[in-house]
Amino acid sequence: GAGVSQSPSNKVTEKGKDVELRCDPISGHTALYWYRQSLGQGLEFLIYFQGNSAPDKSGLPSDRFSAERTGGSVSTLTIQRTQQEDSAVYLCASSLGGRGRTDTQYFGPGTRLTVL
């Protein structure tokens, strides 16, 4: 079946503009994650959605970052008033989710964001 898809694959924006990044998870996956990966760095956790539970937003770096997940499926990560330090690859992953089970994540190809 189809894997996790993300759009756009590349986004170049000017400092101060808002951007929206989209993630389509694997059908049936209840858990969805957003990560940020800077050049040569590991994955930085941003936010986690699990079913209808309140999302874990503990990784969002500032209040300029927000995310929502509509209908338990598609998710949008929004960055307001972008700054140059926001430049990175933003990765989305989904998994079957649920407590008490191992949770293998399936990643999308990422969106490369460049803030000029």
Q: Does 25 bind another protein (CB under 8 A)?
A: no
Distance (Å, rounded) from C-alpha 44 to C-alpha 9?
A: 19
3-state secondary structure 25-54: CCCCCCEEEEEEECCCCCEEEEEEEECCCC
Three-class DSSP category at 5:
strand
Q: What are phi and psi of 59, to 5 degrees?
A: -95, -5
Of the residues 75, 82, 94, 105, which one makes contact with another protein according to CB under 8 A? 105
Nearer to another protein, 19 or 31 (CB): 31
Kindly identify the residues of this chain, within the stretch 29-88, that bind another protein according to CB under 8 A: 31, 33, 35, 40-43, 45, 48, 50, 56, 58
DSSP 8-class letter at 56: B
What's the one-letter identity of residue 105? Q
Smallest distance, another protein to C-beta of residue 101, A: 7
Smallest distance, another protein to C-beta of residue 56, A: 4
Contact 82, 13 (CB under 8 A): yes
Nearer to another protein, 16 or 61 (CB): 61
Q: Which residues bind another protein (CB under 8 A)?
A: 4, 31, 33, 35, 40-43, 45, 48, 50, 56, 58, 91, 93, 95, 97-110
